[in-house]
């Protein structure tokens, strides 16, 4: 059976070049915190990887901290905010968007449960946080604003630079979860002027279990993982050397990837969009039509359940998602789509197709041939 992987927003395959570099360094087992030669070799490889990540983000030296992934990076920022409030900050309000990743939404629920003031800025029907909407919520009590760079379900890109200007004009700190954006659109922490930015290696063809947090020099920071003095005392724990090397190589590959690659991904996405809309009545595309990640296509199919579509596509060797992989197991409709005022039936019947570096036109044509008859069959069942 043919296999087509269109779930790259959940995770990407590790690039062959990354596998090669990790294999070449698999015996680099010295503890990077040790002063002997074995440790120095590991430390040197880690700093080389750090340099690649900093270059990818246009981040100044010594501003990228390695973590276990995007969730830890996000949590570290909110831990910092919580500590500042606990230590007497006059600013006690946190603002996040209603479409953030569960790593942030669930963290904020926990903060609210413990009495902290968390407020949510909504989105328009395209899933975009409007600058005016954020400005209406801002005052001198706001400590932190967090808005993702691009949404993991719809691919909608947020105006991070403009939102940061608003946050800073009121003296607030700005964080963006760029986990879905890295490798897909240009990221420039200096142009955006954000204070914190989270990324995860496995979203751009690196290994799982490794990520990074950009921390602008001079901004508040509170250690989340305590113990040793790794990462300049910012994050304890023996370095995951090989994974860090892998993420560094993945970052280098992204930097060297031609712009034509993103254009090709968008072209394939558009081929899929047109092919499905032309062959499936009443299908609805979710998210912004142009301010969207090049490989993300979220479509709702009325009178067809998303979970049923996913399973029937899986029988055809096609991997897709009904939303965030971190929400798998929940039968509730996507809160991201509901936040964009999508009808609950459409939210229940949504499928996320996320293309990647290795997606081909043949893959897309195969999917176009398989989805319409599946939707037709499910609709027939639902009306009996």
Say how many C-beta atoms besides its own lie within 10 A of residue 361's C-beta.
12
Residues in the chain: 384
At a CB cut-off of 8 Å and minimum separation 6, what does 175 contact?
74, 77, 144, 145, 146, 194, 195, 196, 197, 198
CA–CA separation, 233 vs 236, rounded Å? 7
Residue of 167, 158, 139 lying closest to 100 (CA atoms): 158
Is there a catalytic annotation at residue 326? Answer: yes
Q: Give the pair of three-digit tokens for residue 202.
A: 């496995």
CA–CA separation, 57 vs 255, rounded Å? 10
Question: Which residue, chain included where needed, has tokens 């954006």?
Answer: 181
DSSP class of 321? B
CA–CA separation, 321 vs 300, rounded Å? 12
CA–CA separation, 352 vs 367, rounded Å? 13
Could you write out the DSSP letters of every residue in 249-316?
HHHHHHHHS-HHHHHHHHHHHHHHHHHHHHHSTT-EEES-SSSB-TTEEEEE-TTS-HHHHHHHHHHT
> What is the DSSP pairing of strand 296-300 with strand 350-354?
antiparallel
- Identify the active-site residue in 277, 326, 338, 370: 326
Q: Give the pair of three-digit tokens for residue 44.
A: 């040197």
Handedness of CA 295, 298, 301, 306 (dihedral sign): positive
CA–CA separation, 290 vs 191, rounded Å? 22
Q: Looking at the annotation, which residues are catalytic?
A: 326
């Amino acid at each position: 059976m043919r296999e087509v992987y269109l779930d790259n927003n959940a995770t990407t395959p590790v690039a062959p070049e990354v596998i090669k570099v990790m294999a070449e360094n698999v015996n680099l087992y010295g503890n990077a915190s040790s002063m002997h030669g074995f440790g120095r070799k590991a430390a040197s490889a880690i700093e080389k990887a750090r340099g690649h990540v900093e270059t990818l983000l246009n981040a100044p030296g010594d501003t990228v901290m390695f973590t276990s992934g995007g969730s830890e990076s996000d949590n570290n920022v909110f831990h910092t905010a919580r500590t500042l409030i606990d230590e007497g900050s006059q600013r006690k309000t946190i603002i996040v968007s209603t479409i953030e990743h569960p790593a942030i939404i669930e963290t904020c629920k926990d903060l609210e449960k413990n009495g902290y003031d968390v407020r949510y800025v909504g989105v328009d029907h395209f899933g975009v946080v409007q600058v005016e909407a954020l400005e209406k919520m801002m005052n001198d009590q706001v400590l932190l604003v967090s808005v993702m760079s691009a949404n993991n379900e719809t691919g909608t890109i947020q105006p991070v630079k403009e939102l940061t200007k608003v946050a800073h004009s009121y003296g607030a700190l700005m964080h963006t979860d760029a986990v879905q954006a890295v490798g897909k659109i240009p990221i420039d922490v200096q142009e955006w002027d954000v204070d914190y930015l989270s990324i995860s290696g496995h979203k751009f063809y690196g290994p799982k279990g490794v990520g990074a947090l950009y921390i602008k020099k001079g901004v508040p920071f509170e250690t989340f993982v305590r113990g040793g003095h790794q990462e300049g005392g910012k994050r304890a724990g023996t370095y995951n050397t090989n994974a860090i090397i892998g993420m560094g190589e993945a970052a280098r590959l992204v930097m060297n990837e031609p712009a034509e690659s993103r254009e090709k991904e968008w072209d394939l996405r558009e081929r899929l969009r047109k092919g499905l809309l032309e062959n499936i009545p009443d299908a609805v595309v979710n998210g912004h039509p142009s301010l969207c990640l090049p490989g993300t296509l979220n479509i709702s199919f009325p009178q067809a359940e998303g979970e049923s579509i996913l399973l029937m596509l899986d029988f055809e060797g096609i991997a897709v998602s009904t939303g965030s992989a971190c929400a798998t197991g929940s039968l509730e409709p996507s809160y991201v789509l509901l936040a964009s005022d999508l009808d609950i039936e459409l939210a229940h019947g949504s499928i996320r197709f996320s293309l990647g570096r290795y997606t081909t036109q043949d893959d897309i044509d195969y999917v176009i041939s398989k989805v319409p008859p599946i939707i037709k069959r499910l609709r027939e069942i639902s009306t009996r």
